[in-house]
Amino acid sequence: MASRKILHADCDCFYAAVEMRDDPTLREVPLAVGGSQERRGVIATCNYAARAFGVRSAMPTARALRLCPDLVLRAPDFERYRAVSREILALFHELTPRVEPLSLDEAYLDISAVTRFRGSATWMGEWLKAQCLARTGITLSVGAAPNKFLAKVASDWDKPDGLKVIPPQAMEAFVAALPVTCLPGVGPATATKLETLGIRRCDELRHLPREALIERFGKFGQRLFELCRGRDEREVRPQRVRKSVSVETTFPRDLPDLASCQAALPALVDRLEARLARHGHPPPSQAFVKVRFDDFSLTTLEGSAPWDALMTQAWGRGARPVRLLGVGVRLRPPEARRQLPLFDEGP
């Protein structure tokens, strides 16, 4: 099998970076984006000034404020983050259609077949970083390697604003010296378990036979066996074009009337919005409500009316107890991929 070339591109402290870009007074202060202390929120992202105080993603905001009393906290503005994310994704698509987004701010790119930049991963990485900064004001860290696992390790290597390339001939030595804690799936518990066996690095892990690993770690043992040898055959899966996003609930007891359906609506809409935010989808064009009645008949009503009006209409089609409710949105077609001519040859 011919060697593949994979990039992992990851924005540096993305939400915080967007906030700092749009408000220069935030650039020099410790900044976090997340939920408020009063609402028992957690930190989504923080800048490097905040990290110096020990503030981290997923940390309760209350704890972050104890560590860093001067921390400036901003509520997330996903609308704005999604807009920037779309620009960055469009940039990735100028290099290759083989883009697999992982979230709003990171993606894998399979550049094996890209002939521009003389096929140089280093050059492509430099170009992506420069273009991303010039077009969006956001810095990107890029890792390049023969597979996904190592590309992701590489993008983290020189963060922020990093570019780390692991060419095939350097892969062996790089993985040998890699701490086992860099392997995806190795959390504190597994790390401790390995440490009691005297294993801290991948070359030490290689001494354990496959059977011993499977015995100790089950199915994950097989994965460990491969990872510590730098093997990872997972393909880059270009994003399938989603036509809609929806959430639904089947109720343990049928909802007897329209009022109880209306009461169930806000929770569903919240879940839908959270899902849309997580996946960074373009703005929806059309909403729909789905109702399954207790006789199993199903109706879907689409429209631009507010949710409760859609619900009233949809329910009216059956006017009987309800087993299941769903809400969703149809999505606009994906961004027209810009096909800008790229300078093919060197500087």
Q: Which residues bind Mg ion (CB under 5 A)?
A: 10-11, 105
Other Cβ atoms less than 10 A from the Cβ of 87: the count is 13
Q: Which residues contact 223 (CB under 8 A, 6 or more apart)?
A: 185
Measure the CA angle with vertex 102, ends 81 and 185; round to 5°. Answer: 130
Q: How far is the CB of 105 from Mg ion (least distance, A)?
A: 4
Residue 11 or 142 with smaller CB distance to Mg ion? 11
Encode 141-166 in three state secondary structure.
EEEEECCHHHHHHHHHHCCCCCEEEC
Q: How far is the CB of 92 from Mg ion (least distance, A)?
A: 14
Question: Helix or strand or coil: residue 8?
Answer: strand
For Mg ion, give the closer residue by CB, 9 or 272. Answer: 9
* Distance (Å, whole) CA 139 – CA 11: 6
Q: Would you say 11 or 109 has its CB closer to Mg ion?
A: 11
Task: Please give the Cα distance from 275 to 277 (Å, whole number).
Answer: 5
In terms of DSSP bridges, do strands 72-74 and 31-34 run parallel, antiparallel, or are they unpaired? parallel
Token pair belonging to 143: 């890792």
Beta bridge partners of 302: 288
Q: Among 94, 90, 102, 106, which residue's Cα sits nearest to residue 17?
A: 106
Binding positions for Mg(2+): 10, 105
Please report how close the Cβ of residue 6 comes to Mg ion at its closest, in angstroms: 17
Residues 38, 79, 87, 106: which is the catalytic one? Answer: 106
Shortest Cβ 122–Mg ion spacing (Å): 21
Catalytic site residue 126? no
Strand pairing report for 106-110 and 298-303:
unpaired
Annotated binding site: 10, 105
Q: Which is nearer to Mg ion, 3 or 103 (CB)?
A: 103
Give whichever of 11 and 208 is closer to Mg ion, judged by the CB atom.
11
User: 107 vs 199, which CB is nearer to Mg ion?
Assistant: 107
φ, ψ at 136 (rounded to 5°): -120, -10
What separation in angstroms does the CA of 238 have from each of 108, 116, 242, 322?
Answer: 9, 20, 12, 38
Q: How many angstroms separate the CA atoms of 287 and 314, rounded? A: 13
Q: How far is the CB of 11 from Mg ion (least distance, A)?
A: 5
Catalytic residues: 106
